[in-house]
Amino acid sequence: MSESKNYLAYTESIDQVKAHFETDLSQGLSSQEAAKRLESYGTNEIQEEERRSTFQKFIDQFKDFMIIVLLAAAAISAVVGISQGEGITDTIIILIVVLLNAVLGVFQEAKAEEAIDALKKMSSPLAHVLRDGDVKEIKSTQLVPGDVVLLEAGDVVPADIRLVEASSLKIEEAALTGESVPVEKNTDALENPEAGIGDRYNMGYSSTNVTYGRGKGIITGTGMETEVGHIAKMLSSTQKQLTPLQRDQEALGKTLTKAIIVVAVVTFLIGTLLNGMGIMEMLLVSISLAVAAIPEGLPAISTIILSLGTQTMADRNALVRTLPAVETLGSTQVICSDKTGTLTLNEMTVEHVFHDDQLFAANQDLDLNSHFIHSFVLPNDSKVDNDGKIIGDPTETAMVKYAIDHQMDYKGLLADYPRIDEVPFESDRKLMSTIHKLEDGRFAVYVKGASDQLIQRATQIEINGQVRPIQEADISKIQEQNESLAKQALRVLAGAYKIIDQVPATVNSETVENDLIFTGLVAMIDPERQEAKDSIRKARNAGIRTVMITGDHAITAQAIAERLEILDPKAADNSSHVMTGADLNEISDEELAKNVANYSVYARVSPEHKVRIIKAWQANDKTVSMTGDGVNDAPSLKQADIGVGMGITGTEVSKGASDMVLADDNFQTIVVAVEEGRKVFSNIQKAVQFLLSANLGEIITLFVATLFGWVILKPIHILWINLVTDVFPAIALGMEKADPDTMKYAPRTKEDSFLSFGIFPSILYQGVFEGAITLLVYWYVDIHLGLEHTLAETMAFITLGLQQLFHSYNVKSVFKSLFSSNPFDNKYLNLAFLGSGALLFGVILIPGINGFFDVHNPNLEQWIICIVASFALVILTEIVKFIFRTTGLADKYQSIPHLDD
């Protein structure tokens, strides 16, 4: 006997399975044999790889390239500060930023391990098992392959089991399959070895729930050899993808570092070799230039902007677990969504009824005191608690809710028609019957179940209160209606009744379920969310493809996809855009990647299939979001660029594997979060444009000054400008409102970066303007007017710093005029301007401090020169923006194609 995932117990007969696992159905395993197998196979629990210590995780955070650059900047800043006697304030700030990022990284990595922990908690603590011929209750961790386990309603299945007995047994497997309706189980061997989990009716799977009946089975897999264990292995092996933000930051850091080194070296060589400046003097200038060029505040500013985004999303029911996920949402190109509970309501609902020879919509009035309605709500085990909540099987609760919604007094009906006996539902005959005592002393038999089974037992039909013999024409019409409703993916049940004078001595199917009077059909479905339909349309207009991935049947998935307009409801070839798990098994990963765009619906899929679909889209360089609520969704949630779990119906496993959790389980919230993500990226771009153009202005100022042999700014001036005029305005730009057109354009691709969409040319010309204006003011004062050199340095310092504050308003839009809307609508930016301006002017106006910074207080005329020169940057930028707009260059740079174009 060997336990293996390759052994397909569901295709074997009971005798074959019993022989394979060398067990006895009446005695079970002996204690000695069980102990031997426990030693061989190990305990029945989820294992996990050895985890790295918190310290190891912390050290790993410093391997990021941008972090290395920042550490180098901290060291350089320390050298400059100490050599100039100016302290190491800038160094301390950079190190705080680095440590903050490291702590956040460790926290996020710890979150990612929650999925495995949650899987372990799902297992049943105890199990009823046959050992040595007796039924014993033992810890489920001690179960072994070959053990014979007993199941009853309320149990958690303790391991993977091949059923050998199933009496009205139903198991809820939504965590593994996504299906909202419990599965009716039997013991028949299956012929199809490719049958998915949801079609293996003779199996019970670890951590699923028994909702009805009882059963008995042989354990075929324990621990990591169960389906849940297989998912745990996938979770451990799945590598989380770098987010677009992380890729952008890494690429930007490498590019900037190379450019900075080149500029610093060239500046040093020009100063020493061409202009004859001292080596130490030029070394300090070059280091100052390098410090000026590094946007050391960018990681912190990005973190703050992302954190603000998480707060906004939380207010709109999207709980973000990892900060980079905020921005990743904005670049989402494909949303792969589970069906049940996300796109649908996750509750069976009556949609149509067929009675009195007519088809009615569920919202049309009906006679509550009719045999038709009684034939569905009386043979029904649903309960209504004190809070009015209906408890029971989803199909049965749908019928009771339908009656209550039509103002039926359900509890009163049960009191008026007391149940005195029943024939329980069995999967073989697919019927349930109950017997109720009537006021006149007679008894009513009500039956509900599968239409094809019930129609064979009906000899009469009731139409408009009149009972007559059922005819072939009646049967044909009933069958036509049944088929028509079934093609719409509706679950159809039939009802019937009869009145008897006395209860049979033996109550069973043969004595009760005959000579029935047919009453009608009820058609149910787990309906689509209306808001999901609207959101899918909005996502489509924003260039985002919605793909449904579900464990449900293909016909149901296709019907829901058509109703949601994931598939064109008017198209005749929608079935060609639906792929099943069996179809996926027939094609390679390469073939799937090549054709993945042809399919919008995947049905009857396994956890491996979901991961393959995600990878296929990613192979096409698409940023993919995956939504899910079950254990089976966890590997694909982790594989996706952003995994979205369900807060209400989601398992702890799926939440642990997710980057974001929907507090309301609503697809609409995903689209809202995408919009917020786009705003976040746009605001980070604004911060990047602001910081890099300001830093470029500083580089040009120092580089050109070196070429001319000017000493224009001291290192302390550059450090102070970077400290007070960079950080606060950049953070305030992160609080800009979303562009009202943000969801009218397709998402950015993986080739796009922080510098795309006109940002790069804007940085270039704005940086050139900043440097040129600063140099012009210095030249005018020092060379043209021949005033004191310290005054010229002071005015250059004021002009450079004040320009950057004015410039923060320029970057509110790349190409739109600042004055096309209220330029002061961001109160945080206004406060940043005033606060940073106060800090900038404070070092000039406050006695003692201005001496430390080696600056003079200019007179009124000189202040006006600095202010007018600084504001000129706004005028020049407006002129260039106008040229970009009128020449069509703006459209070229912003060529994110509108979906309606």
Q: Which residues are catalytic?
A: 338
Using CB atoms within 10 Å of the CB of residue 581, give its burial: 0 to 12 exposed, 13 to 18 middle, 19+ buried: buried
Least Cα distance to 342 among 650, 580, 657 occurs for: 650
> Dihedrals φ, ψ of 426, to 5°?
-135, 140
Using CB atoms within 10 Å of the CB of residue 445, give its burial: 0 to 12 exposed, 13 to 18 middle, 19+ buried: buried
> Dihedrals φ, ψ of 374, to 5°?
-65, -30
Separation CA 384–CA 392 (nearest Å)? 9
The DSSP bridge pattern shows strands 148-152 and 578-580 to be unpaired
**CA 100, 106, 109, 114 torsion-angle sign:** negative
Q: Are 510 and 299 in contact (CB under 8 A)?
A: no
Largest CA distance in the chain: 121
> Dihedrals φ, ψ of 385, to 5°?
-80, 180
Angle between helices 789-810 and 860-887 (to 10 degrees): 40
Q: Which residues contact 581 (CB under 8 A, 6 or more apart)?
A: 194, 196, 602, 603, 604, 605, 606, 609
Residue found by looking up tokens 């008897």 in the block: 500
Can you name the residues that pair with 816 across neighbouring β-strands? Answer: none
Question: b/e for 392-413, b at 16 or more Cβ within 10 A?
Answer: bbbbbbbbbbbbbebebebeeb
Cβ neighbours, 10 Å, residue 615: 18
Amino acid at 634: A
Q: Which residues contact 785 (CB under 8 A, 6 or more apart)?
A: none
Three-state SS string over 423-436 comes to EEEECCCCEEEEEE
Task: Show the tokens assigned to 842.
Answer: 């404070």
Separation CA 269–CA 493 (nearest Å)? 87
Task: Show the tokens assigned to 752.
Answer: 């796009």
DSSP 719-758: HHHHHHHTHHHHHHHTTPPPPTTGGGBPPP-TT--TTTTT
